[in-house]
Structure 1
Amino acid sequence: MAKLIGYARVSTRAQDTDRQQADLLKAGVRHDDLYVDHGVSGSRASRPQFDLALEALIEGDTLVITTLDRLGRSTQNMLAFAEDLRTRGAGLRVLNLGGGDVDTSSPMGSMLFTIMAALAQMELEIKRERVTDSVKKRREAGLDLGGRPRRITDSQIRNAVRLVESGEPAAAVARDLGMSRATFYRRSRALSQ
């Protein structure tokens, strides 16, 4: 008996898949046939729950996803995936495409899938370009790039350097500061320049 296999994915652990799961269940996917990856990038070809969902697919089954980018970002990977589905005799249903099945075995379905995969990859490349451009402009303007704030002040590093110069082992001083010896050396060199 043909069944619906659902797949949901988020790229970071901080995100949740509640909306995706609700949409998949509403589309007819049984809870037992729902596979969810947390904190897994779409650019990875292999994802633990995605791999299990593919193993569960048999001829006549349909993989259901909410958006095409849940499959991945690379056109090449998506086309390989479409070929894999075709050889299995399985279908694909993308809910954001009007809820209709994308039959990758038909010429029209294959074309639509290829176009959508290329668009997903283009979207990723545009985002990357924007982030790179933004970082470059912030650097040129001398603005903060964000990141983790320094817990250890320059004053603390200078005091630690004095301890090392007076004979304390650098490894012990770095450990007391809560950093690695390499980080301590890097920070102390940066202050002496």
Structure 2
Amino acid sequence: MTKLIGYARVSTRQQSTDRQAVDLLAAGVRRDDLYVDNGVSGARASRPNFDRALDALEAGDTLVITTLDRLGRSTQNMLAFAEELRGRGAGLRVLNLGGGDVDTATPMGSMLFTIMAALGQMEHEIKRERVLDSIAKRRNAGRNLGGRPRIITDSQIRNARSLIDSGEPAAEVARNLGMSRATFYRRARALGLLPD
């Protein structure tokens, strides 16, 4: 008897797979045949519950996912994966691919999957380019890039510089501030307390 094996994934622990699970169950996947990875990137080759879902697939079964990006990022990897499933006699069904339901067991579904996999990879690469471009623009404009908030104030750096000027060792002053000497020097240079 053939089964539908469902797989859901989110990249961070803060995200939820609830919506994916609802869609997969509505598509006919039994709760016992639903595998979920939380906080696992699609770029990783090994995903614990994805591997379990594949182990559960037998000839005639179909792996069901909600969107193509649940499988991974690379068109080449996705196409190799679809081919591997075909070789095992299993199918792949993507619920929300191009506004409809695509099953790779059919010739039309296989063609659409190939096209959408390429488009998915292109979209990922465009997003990556935009993020890198945004970071470069913010850096060039001297704007904050985010990250950890500064704990050491500019006033503390100025006071530390005064201690060094009065003969205290720079390494010890920096250590007392809770930062490396290199970080201290970088901060002091930024404040104009040291020559560039």
What is the deviation of 1:46? 1.9
Contact 1:10 1:39 in 2 (8 A): yes
Identity %: 70
Aligned pairs, number = 185
Correspondence for 2:113: 113
TM-score, L = length of structure 2: 0.82
Correspondence for 1:41: 41
Q: Does 1:184 align with 2:186?
A: no
CA distance in 1: counterparts of 2:153 and 2:135, whole angstroms: 25
Correspondence for 1:88: 88
CA distance in 2: counterparts of 1:53 and 1:126, whole angstroms: 30
Correspondence for 1:99: 101
* Aligned counterparts, 1:40-79, within 5 A: 40-79=40-79
CA distance in 1: counterparts of 2:103 and 2:111, whole angstroms: 13
Gaps of 5+ in 1: none
CA distance in 1: counterparts of 2:159 and 2:48, whole angstroms: 48
What is the deviation of 1:169? 7.9
Letter in 2 for 1:122: M
Question: What's the RMSD between the two structures over aligned residues?
Answer: 2.5
Q: Does 1:156 align with 2:156?
A: yes
Correspondence for 1:9: 9
Gaps of 5+ in 2: 189-193
What is the deviation of 1:62? 0.7
What is the deviation of 1:157? 4.6
SS of the residue aligned with 2:180? Answer: helix
TM-score, L = length of structure 1: 0.84
Correspondence for 1:144: 144
What is the deviation of 1:70? 0.6
